[in-house]
Structures are given as structure tokens and as C-alpha cells.
């Protein structure tokens, strides 16, 4: 790396870190490293997730700085129109068995990065790799970089999956993905990547990387808080936050202790989403059974009218009806059926008549919206159309029932505390080419069971548009905040990749002309 005055940077992603629980853990003295980071740096308790606020979508946004209208990872479970099949990233083991364990592994480890994420949408690893920086990452869904890695051969999980996991992958300079890929022997074993033990693997690898000075940028993934929250509930996170804090301490002790480490390293700690308690399940499959749903097996595809895709506290329906004349009334029927189903809060779809509008429908009616053009509001919509801006500076034309989002307009600013950054997040979801035709967001305390019948009643979940599972924690130290966020405070996980790249702006080496020309660096949508 040129310009060694630039601090090395660690991006720690604590999956599902809920701000209120982080604050409780700090107050109880259970997270001393995070407490020191918060005291010395900047703490943001309202960093907004993508929608659906599920891990694959949010991981792609953190890694690229884009929402899914660009990165095209639409959900935990979705339907590939190009392949006429479901894609399942691992909702639960019973769900995975419905779709095939081998196919789920291929989709999650290989296809998500190599096929589902477009080649022209760069990850933060690719951007920094192209500028000669030493990149590294522990087990994280989005890992695509410029360096080729061969699968491990000697670890138990590699032997167990040897008939499936044979491919090389493109990753950061140093890649450690469970026990499937390890760019060097660190002596760390992830114990088959089992939940509850993944943070320990990350801490072991991270400490080794610090001791041997092997990175300029490290993505330090701490996923076990999410698993614990699903099982015990979001208000029982103190134990799992304490465990994550110990791995951060392990990382920093390898660099001489917290104070010494922070003299040499900048740190960003971010949640990909938050968590909400779950008390009831939505009768999703039962509600739509009369529409001839495509089963996971794909049998009867010629008769199926819809594909049904639950993703925890969100869900999507894909219309398989080939007749364009029949599609529009079918979408209307699906929306009506959804809104009549207990536990479904909002139904979202695109009205493709000109001009194309997003529609957010709920008990209070419909709110229609679209990005504002150059003309006046009255020229762009009906008599009640209004031109508004959101907290991040986006401009929108809206008309209809603002009450659907509990929204008010104050001096031209759309304010909807229960549904943060709603218009931009919904628009990105609806215009994503791989999204469904109708999207649903669950009401607080409700969840869509997955295809394996699994749910998190008594525990926690996420995925909805609602603030309760959309606003996560962010802490940063030694790195500059984007000027726009300093001005408006409207943080999104889409700000993280640009923040990382800007940190290294002065230290970046000139790209090697022998390499393929990199695409545009990630930008905030």
C-alpha cells in the first residue's frame, strides 16, 4: 500500500446487532471493547438496512454500496425467472432439504457471488484489489474479489462436501470461508462453520492476520449474534454481543491492546439489520394455495401460476402466468389476498402503466410514488400529487394515502418514523430485475414460515420494512463519515462501502494497466 500514513481498516459486521441491546450490553459492562469504540468514536443507533432486511440482501449492499436494483440479490428465498427454479440461500435446514442441499451450497457459495451478483457491480474487495491494497475477509456471504482461491482439501467440511465444492472462487487477497477456503494455514478451524462457533473462527483468523501484518482492509464477520437472536429473541442479545466483543478484543490484543490497535487501525462496526420479536406466524402458503403454487420440486410447473418465496418477515410472489393480459388482474388479486391475511402489514408492487409507479398498499389505502422528474408535481401526477424529498435527499412524487406509512410532510420533507427510508428502499426492491411481482412486509410480531415450515416464535426475526427490524447499530473510529451523512444523519448500510473506499483514496496505488479495466467504484444509490 502506498501512503502508509493511512490507517489499516477493519470492517466488523455483527449480524443483527440491535442498538438497544448494544447499549444495554455496554451499560452492563459486558462489551468493553465496543464501549471504548463508542466513547472514542461515533455511535449511530439508526443505520438503516435494505429491504427486505434479510442477510443476503443486506450483505450485498454492505459489500457493494448498492441497493438491489443494482446488486440484484432480492431475498433469502427467490425465484429465478431465467432458470425457472427457486433459489434458496439457507432459510433453515428443513427448507434447504426441500430444494436440495447440494443446490443450496452451490447457490450460496458460488452462484451468489459469481452469477447472481452482476459482474459490473463491484464489491469493496474488487475495488481495493484493483488499487493494489491487501484485502482480507472471514466467512461472509459476499466475498468476491480479484484473487483466485482453490478449495481446501484436508478439513472435515471440505472432505464432507468434496463432491460438490470443487470450484475455485474469486475472493480478496486473503480469504477464509468456513473451512472451505483458506488462503494460508492459520491453525484456525471453524468446526464445519457451525452457528455459535463462527465468531471464534473469525477471531482466530483475525488475530493471526494482525500478528503477521497481512492486510490493509479486513472484513471481520461476526454472525453468531443473529443465530442467538433467532433462538432466544432480540432482547436476549447481551450474551451474544459479549461473545462478539471478546473476538474484537482478541483481534486488538494481537495488535498490542485496544489503544495500540486503534493507533494503527481504523474500525467500523456495523449491523446488517436489526431484530424483531416473533409471536405469531402468517398462514402464507394456505392463503395462496388456490393460485396453483409452484412447489420446491418444480413438479407441475406447466400448471403453476405463482412462485411463493418467504424470507422471514418479508415475502415475495412471482407471477408465472405467461399471458400479459391476465397478469395485471392476477397481481391485483394477489395483493388483495395478501392484505386480507392476518399478519401482513403492507403489499408492494409496480403499476407498470405510464408513468411507472411504485404502490405501497395497506389497511389505510394506497400510496403511489416514483422518483421525481424535472417537471412540477402537478404536471407529473394527479390532483393530490406532491413533490417531496426524503431524509437522504431523494426527490419523489407521491399521491394517495400517506397514512399507509404513518407519514407526514413537513416543509417538503416526508417523515415516516415507523418505516425509515421507505420510498428508496421499496423502489429498489420493486425495480430489482430479480424481485417478485408482489412483495409483502409483515406486521410487528409476525413472521412468514419458510418452505420447511420453520419459524422463530418465541425468538427473533427480521426482513420487514418496519423500523423494528430495519434500524441497526453503527460505530466508527478513525475513519471519516460521508459529508452527506454528517449533514443529514440519515445513515444506510449502503454508506459503508463508499466510506471504506474513501478511507483509502489517498493510499490507493495506480491500477495495473495489464488488468481488465475495473467498473465504476461503488456509490451510494
- Per-residue confidence at 161, pLDDT binned at 50, 70, 90? low
The predicted structure's pLDDT at residue 134: 98
pLDDT for position 506: 72
Q: Which residue has the cell 396453483?
A: 292
Q: Please report the pLDDT score of residue 100 as a whole number.
A: 95
pLDDT averaged over every residue in the chain:
92
3-state secondary structure of 277: strand
CA distances to 59, 127, 327, 329 from 306, rounded to whole Å, are: 27, 39, 11, 13
DSSP string, 425-447: HHHHHHH-TTS-SEEEEEPTEEE
SS3 393: coil
In angstroms, the CA 146 to CA 128 distance is 9
Strand order in the sheet with 445-447: 445-447, 276-281, 460-461
What are 363-396's pLDDT values in tens digits?
999 999 999 974 444 445 677 899 999 999 999 9
User: Given this model, what pLDDT does residue 156 score?
Assistant: 54
Residue 19 confidence class, pLDDT cut points 50, 70, 90: very high
Q: What secondary structure does DSSP assign to 130-186, as a single string?
A: TTT--EEE-S-S----SEEEPPPSSSHHHHHTTTT----EEE-SEEEETTTEESS--
d(CA 443, CA 52): 13
Could you tell me the pTM of the whole model?
0.93
Find the length of the chain: 525
The residue-averaged pLDDT of 23-52 equals 98
pLDDT at 523: 32
What's the average model confidence in pLDDT over 122-148?
98
Find the helix packing angle between 32-40 and 19-27, rounded to 10°.
110
Set out the domains of the chain in order of their start, with CATH numbers: 11-66+121-275+465-507 (3.40.720.10), 281-459 (no CATH)
DSSP sequence for 317-383: EEE----HHHHHHHHHHHHHHHHTSTTEEEEEEEE-SSSPEEEEEETTEEEEEEE--SS-HHHHS-T
Question: Which tens digit of pLDDT belongs to each residue from 1-15?
Answer: 444 458 999 999 999
Tell me, what's the pLDDT at 511? 44
In terms of Cα–Cα distance, which of 410, 313, 419, 317 is closest to 364?
Answer: 419
Residue 166: predicted pLDDT: 76
pLDDT-wise least confident of 39-53, 286-300, 339-353, 502-516 = 502-516
Average the pLDDT over 323-347 and give the result. Answer: 95
Strand pairing report for 445-447 and 395-400: unpaired
Which tens digit of pLDDT belongs to each residue from 426-435?
A: 999 999 999 9
What's residue 399's pLDDT?
A: 96
CA-wise closest residue to 368 among 333, 340, 395, 398: 398
pLDDT of 179? 87
> What is residue 522's predicted lDDT score, i.e. its pLDDT?
33
**Percent of the chain clearing pLDDT 70 (strictly above):** 91
Model confidence pLDDT, tens digit, residues 401-417: 999 999 999 999 999 99
List pLDDT tens digits, range 442-472: 999 999 999 999 999 999 999 999 999 999 9
- More reliable by pLDDT, 154 or 63: 63
Output the pLDDT for position 384.
Answer: 83
Residue 334 has pLDDT above 80, yes or no: yes
Q: Is the pLDDT of residue 515 over 50?
A: no
Q: Which of 78-82, 414-418, 511-515 has the lowest mean pLDDT?
A: 511-515
The tens digit of pLDDT for each residue in 172-214 reads: 999 999 989 999 999 998 876 566 689 999 999 999 999 999 9
| pLDDT of 518 over the 50 cut | no
Amino acid at each position: 500500500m502506498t501512503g502508509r500514513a493511512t490507517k489499516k481498516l477493519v470492517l466488523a459486521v455483527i449480524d443483527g446487532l440491535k442498538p438497544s441491546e448494544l447499549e444495554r450490553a455496554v451499560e452492563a459492562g459486558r462489551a468493553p471493547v465496543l464501549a471504548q469504540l463508542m466513547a472514542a468514536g461515533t455511535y449511530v443507533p439508526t443505520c438503516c438496512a435494505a429491504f427486505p432486511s434479510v442477510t443476503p440482501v443486506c450483505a450485498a449492499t454492505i459489500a457493494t454500496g448498492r441497493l438491489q436494483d443494482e446488486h440484484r440479490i432480492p431475498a433469502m428465498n427467490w425465484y429465478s425467472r431465467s432458470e425457472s427454479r427457486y433459489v434458496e440461500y439457507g432459510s433453515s435446514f428443513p427448507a434447504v432439504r426441500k430444494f436440495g442441499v447440494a443446490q443450496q451450497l452451490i447457490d450460496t457459495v458460488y452462484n451468489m457471488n459469481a452469477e447472481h451478483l452482476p459482474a459490473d457491480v463491484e464489491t469493496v474487495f474488487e475495488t481495493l484489489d484493483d488499487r493494489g491494497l491487501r484485502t482480507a475477509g472471514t466467512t461472509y456471504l459476499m466475498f468476491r474479489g480479484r484473487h483466485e482461491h482453490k478449495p481446501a482439501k484436508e478439513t472435515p467440511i471440505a472432505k464432507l462436501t468434496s463432491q460438490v465444492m470443487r470450484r475455485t472462487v474469486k475472493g480478496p487477497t486473503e480469504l477464509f470461508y468456513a473451512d472451505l477456503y483458506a488462503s494460508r494455514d492459520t491453525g484456525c478451524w471453524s468446526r464445519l462453520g457451525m452457528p455459535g462457533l463462527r465468531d471464534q473462527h473469525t477471531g482466530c483468523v483475525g488475530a493471526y492476520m494482525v500478528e503477521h501484518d497481512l492486510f490493509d482492509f479486513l472484513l471481520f464477520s461476526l454472525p453468531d449474534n443473529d443465530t442467538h437472536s433467532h433462538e432466544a429473541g432480540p432482547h436476549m442479545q447481551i450474551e451474544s454481543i459479549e461473545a462478539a466483543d471478546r473476538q474484537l478484543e482478541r483481534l486488538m490484543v494481537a495488535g498490542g491492546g485496544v489503544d495500540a490497535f486503534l493507533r494503527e487501525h481504523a474500525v467500523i462496526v456495523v449491523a446488517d439489520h436489526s431484530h424483531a420479536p416473533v409471536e405469531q406466524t402468517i398462514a402464507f402458503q394456505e392463503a395462496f394455495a388456490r393460485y396453483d403454487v409452484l412447489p420446491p420440486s418444480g413438479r407441475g410447473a406447466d400448471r403453476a401460476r405463482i412462485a411463493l418465496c418467504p424470507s422471514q418477515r418479508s415475502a415475495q410472489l412471482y407471477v408465472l402466468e405467461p399471458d400479459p393480459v391476465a397478469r395485471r388482474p392476477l397481481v391485483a388479486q394477489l395483493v388483495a389476498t395478501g392484505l386480507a391475511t392476518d399478519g401482513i402489514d403492507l403489499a408492494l408492487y409496480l403499476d407498470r402503466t405510464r408513468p411507472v409507479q411504485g404502490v405501497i398498499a395497506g389497511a389505510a389505502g394506497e400510496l403511489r410514488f416514483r422518483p421525481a422528474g424535472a417537471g412540477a408535481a402537478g404536471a407529473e401526477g394527479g390532483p393530490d400529487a406532491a413533490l417531496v424529498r426524503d431524509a437522504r435527499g431523494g426527490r419523489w412524487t407521491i399521491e394517495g394515502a400517506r397514512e399507509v406509512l404513518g407519514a407526514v410532510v413537513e416543509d417538503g420533507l416526508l417523515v415516516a418514523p415507523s418505516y425509515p427510508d421507505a420510498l428508496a428502499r421499496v423502489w429498489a426492491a420493486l425495480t430489482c430485475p430479480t424481485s417478485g411481482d408482489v412483495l409483502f412486509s409483515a406486521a410487528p410480531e409476525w413472521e412468514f414460515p419458510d418452505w420447511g415450515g420453520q419459524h422463530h416464535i418465541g425468538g427473533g426475526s427480521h426482513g420487514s420494512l418496519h423500523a423494528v427490524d430495519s434500524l441497526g447499530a453503527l460505530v466508527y473510529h478513525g475513519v471519516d463519515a460521508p459529508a452527506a451523512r454528517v449533514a443529514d444523519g440519515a445513515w444506510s448500510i449502503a454508506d459503508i462501502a463508499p466510506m471504506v473506499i474513501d478511507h483509502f483514496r489517498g493510499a490507493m496505488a495506480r491500477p495495473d494497466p495489464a488488468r481488465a479495466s475495473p467498473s465504476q467504484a461503488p456509490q451510494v444509490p
